Amino acid sequence: MSPSPPVRRLRLGLPRRVFSQVLLMQLAIAGGVVVLATGLFLAPLSNELDDQAMQRALAIAQTTAAQPQIAADMKTSLPTVDGPVQAVAERIRHASGAEYIVIMNMDGVRWSHTDTLQIGKVVSTDPSVPLAGREIMQIDNGTLGRSARGKVPLRDASGDIIGAVSVGIEYDSVRARLFHTIPSLLAYAGGALAVGALAAYLISRRVQKQTRDLAFSDISALLAEREAMLHSIREGVVALDRGGRIRLLNDEAQRLLGLGTEVVGKSLDSALGPGRTTDVLAGRVTGTDLVTVRGQRVLIANRMPTDDGGAVATLRDRTELEQLGRELDSTRGLIDALRAQDHEHANRMHTLLGLLELEMFDEAVEFVGEVAGAHRVTAEQITEKIHDPLLAALLVGKATVAAERGVTLAVSPDTSLPDRLIDPRGLVTIVGNLVDNALDASSGSPHARVEVVLRAEGRAAVLRVRDTGPGVPPEQRETIFMEGWTTKKIPARGKRGIGLALVRRLAERQGGGAEVGEGPDGGAEFIVRLPEALSEAPLASAEEVR
């Protein structure tokens, strides 16, 4: 019976995906902005409509007060329902659409009104302002309810104030205009909300793609995991933005480069200063496993570009492996030397045994002295010129191997190399490969000889290996450094053609190069330049100076 599928648990409450949360937040913001904008628009619109109504009432009052017949009729008639003042006021009211037009005398007694029962009575609101000669606009309550009012003084032909004119605009009509505006305003607001919702949806979809539809909790967990991973790994990590500025620097990178978190946001040139390390991290030097030096540390750097135009560089500390590398290479050199010496020692022992059996004791003593002296002289000559023990041991062993093969391995008198190599193992690999190739090329030729020249020029090291072999034709002087190229027979199980390719690769990783030309004896001369092979010379102490 097959197992039943797992039951998916439903999560109640708000959606947790970034897409959903961002969309809801943006819709809420857009809706709130639309409501707020609509409210902010309606408030001044209401005030503007009130002001327009009061201005209209004031204009009608001014027009009415400007009629000279009204002032004349007030002097010759009484405030009656069928009086001439009431007739003129009603004609103007109907023509202007006002709610009422009240004409009063100096005592506040009405001479006209929409409600004829109010004619002859005192007005319900204070008329002192217009009767004092000033105009006034207001929203006020009266016998006909709330209205927008305009009041002006009424003057006779001589300019004397004989009363006032009060005109009212029905406030319900003002409010009706406001309510009539709301549907169209809401339509515009709805359109704006729809556009905002569409924009929010598009933005949320883009956020969904960029966040890969993760939840906020997932992003927070990923960030915490990334921080823990970056600061716990034993490799230095340097993240750069598209402008070449440092964006991230983990703890190991701070230790290896001798920097602090204050360099975040700065360019590599300002944080590290000019040099090979800056060029490697900035991508101005290309390749993999590039060797660079920072202070007293030998670093291996790799750089990988990112999709946003930046890059991530990793740094590995090789300084701590130098002692192990020295011991391993020294052991390998010793094994090679012992293997050659074992074969040579057997031949010498056979020779010595023969001399003793022939009772040629003096010749035996002389033979032993020559053999011991020659070996001692060769070792002393090499160690006097090459002070790095690993490289000196290699050349002593190679000299023994060369002697067995009938080739003279000589160290040039011009050779001088202090014990300040940054990467001795790399130089041992280079020297070992070139000497082996030179021995192979020179073996079997008359007066076979291989010469090694190794000099220090400041912090640079220049290596020359010359042989008396057939040399390298000009058309092949570049192809011989290609991996897989060889003139030797390829064994059934194995691979050839990697020695010279490795030599050039090691030289280029240290910022140098390798080339081949014709030697002074007609053979080949390999030249390798390593610009930063040596560390800075230590300052002499006070006791050394004395």
- CATH code, domain carrying 271: 3.30.450.20
| Position 528 pLDDT exceeds 90 | yes
Domain boundary among 156, 177, 198: 177
Q: Tell me, what CATH number does 513's domain have?
A: 3.30.565.10
The predicted model gives 265-273 an average pLDDT of: 88
H-only helix segments in 359-516: 361-385, 389-404, 424-442, 499-509
Instruction: State how far the Cα of 147 lies from the Cα of 144, in Å rounded to an integer.
Output: 8
Both 145 and 77 in one domain: the answer is yes
Q: Which residue has the higher pLDDT, 175 or 86?
A: 86
Amino acid at 336: D
Same domain, 327 and 290: no
In a domain, residue 381? The reply is yes
The winner for highest mean pLDDT among 210-214, 292-296, 326-330, 368-372 is: 292-296
Q: Average pLDDT in the 9-16 region?
A: 43
pLDDT of residue 13: 43
Q: Identify whether residues 392 and 431 lie together within a single domain.
A: yes
The verdict on residue 329 lying in a domain is yes
- pLDDT tens digits for range 29-44: 777 777 776 666 666 6
In a domain, 524, yes or no: yes
Mean pLDDT value of segment 287-295: 77
Q: Identify the pLDDT of residue 127.
A: 87
pLDDT in tens, 344-396: 667 767 777 777 777 777 777 676 666 654 454 467 778 888 888 888 888 88
**Per-residue tokens: 363:** 């010749």
Report the amino acid identity of residue 85. V
Alpha helices (H) along 97-215: 128-131, 171-211
What pLDDT sits at residue 464?
A: 92
Q: Does pLDDT of 495 surpass 50?
A: no
Per-residue confidence (pLDDT) for residue 9, from 0 to 100: 39
Q: State the average pLDDT for the chain.
A: 77
Mean predicted confidence (pLDDT) in 151-158? 88
Report the C-alpha gap between 312 and 401 in whole angstroms: 46
> 27 in a domain, yes or no?
yes
- Position 292 pLDDT exceeds 90: no
Tell the residue number behind the tokens 């003593």, with chain if given.
365
Q: Rounded mean pLDDT of 216-233?
A: 66
Unique residue bearing structure tokens 């006002």: 98
Question: What one-character-per-residue DSSP string does 128-153 give?
Answer: HHHHTT--EEEEEEETTEEEEEEEEE
Phi, psi (deg, nearest 5) at residue 191: -65, -45
pLDDT at 483: 54
Q: Would 160 be classed as within a structural domain?
A: yes
Query: Residue 526 in contact with residue 434, Cβ under 8 Å?
Result: yes
Specify burial of residue 414 (Cβ count, 10 A radius: 0-12, 13-18, 19+): exposed
| Mean pLDDT for the stretch of residues 481-504 | 60
Question: What sign does the CA torsion over 331, 337, 338, 340 have?
Answer: positive
Distance (Å, rounded) from C-alpha 463 to C-alpha 411?
11
Question: Is residue 17 included in any domain, yes or no?
Answer: no
Domain assignment present for 485: yes
Main-chain phi, psi angles of 16, to 5 degrees = -100, -10
Q: Are residues 477 and 505 in the same domain?
A: yes
Is the domain of 463 the same as that of 526? yes
| Domain membership of residue 70 as a residue range | 22-177
Which parts of 9-150 fold into alpha helices (H)?
A: 18-65, 68-76, 84-96, 128-131
pLDDT at 253: 87
How far is it, in rounded angstroms, from Cα 105 to Cα 96?
23
342 and 294 belong to one structural domain: no
User: Model confidence at 472, in pLDDT bands (50, 70, 90)?
Assistant: confident
Does the pLDDT at position 325 exceed 60? no
Q: Whole-prediction pTM value?
A: 0.42
Residues 167 and 270 in one domain: no
- Residues 352, 368 contacting (CB under 8 angstroms): yes
Pair (405, 283) in one structural domain = no
- Lowest average pLDDT, out of 178-187, 234-243, 282-291, 463-472, goes to 178-187
For residue 390, the Cα-to-chain-centroid distance in whole angstroms is: 44
**Shared domain check, 400 and 297:** no
Cα-Cα-Cα-Cα dihedral of 65, 71, 72, 78, to 10°? 120
Same domain, 279 and 399: no
Q: Which residues contact 429 (CB under 8 A, 6 or more apart)?
A: 502, 503, 506
In the listed set 317, 351, 377, which residue is the last one of a domain according to the structure?
Answer: 317
Most confident of 133-137, 341-345, 382-386: 133-137
Name the domain count of the chain. Answer: 3
Q: Tokens 């193992």 appear where? A: 425
Q: Are residues 348 and 445 in the same domain?
A: yes
Q: Do 396 and 483 fall within a single domain?
A: yes
Confirm whether 1 is domain-assigned.
Answer: no
Question: Is the confidence at residue 221, as pLDDT, over 50?
Answer: yes
